[in-house]
Amino acid sequence: MAVIKDILTIYSWVAIGMLIVFLWRIAYFYEHTSGQRVGYPFLLIPALLLAAGALFYFKRGGDFTGEPLGDLLLFGGGVLLSLFGSRLQELMTGERR
């Protein structure tokens, strides 16, 4: 059962990594075609925080709960990723409300 859990965890993190890469490519493309500054290199910060949080938990046994440092890394990465995605959406849609 532990092997299945590890496989599903790795699959989930690979999918998250691919989504971050797609978001980075969209931001890169939009910045170069529109001429607006998006700041796509800053997407590396939440990606590194999420990767650090995931590696922290993998080294601790794979259960993604109960470790304040790991939780903080994952939370920080998620919040920064959400802020980047929201900002990109506002830039791409003309900041309509």
Pick from 42, 51, 49: which is nearest to 77 by CA? 49
Q: What is the pLDDT of residue 94?
A: 83
Q: Residue 18: inside a domain, yes or no?
A: yes
pLDDT tens across 55-96, in order?
888 888 767 677 889 899 999 999 999 999 999 999 999 866
Q: What is the pLDDT of residue 21?
A: 94
Domain count of the fold of the chain = 1
For residue 94, how many C-alpha atoms fall within 13 Å in the half-sphere facing its CB?
1
What proportion of the chain, given as a percentage, has pLDDT over 70? 95
Domain that holds residue 22: 2-92
In this structure, are residues 67 and 60 in contact, taking their beta carbons and an 8 Å threshold?
yes
Q: Residue 9: inside a domain, yes or no?
A: yes
Q: Residue 82: inside a domain, yes or no?
A: yes
Q: Residue 20: inside a domain, yes or no?
A: yes
pLDDT at residue 97 above 60?
no
Q: Residue 14: inside a domain, yes or no?
A: yes
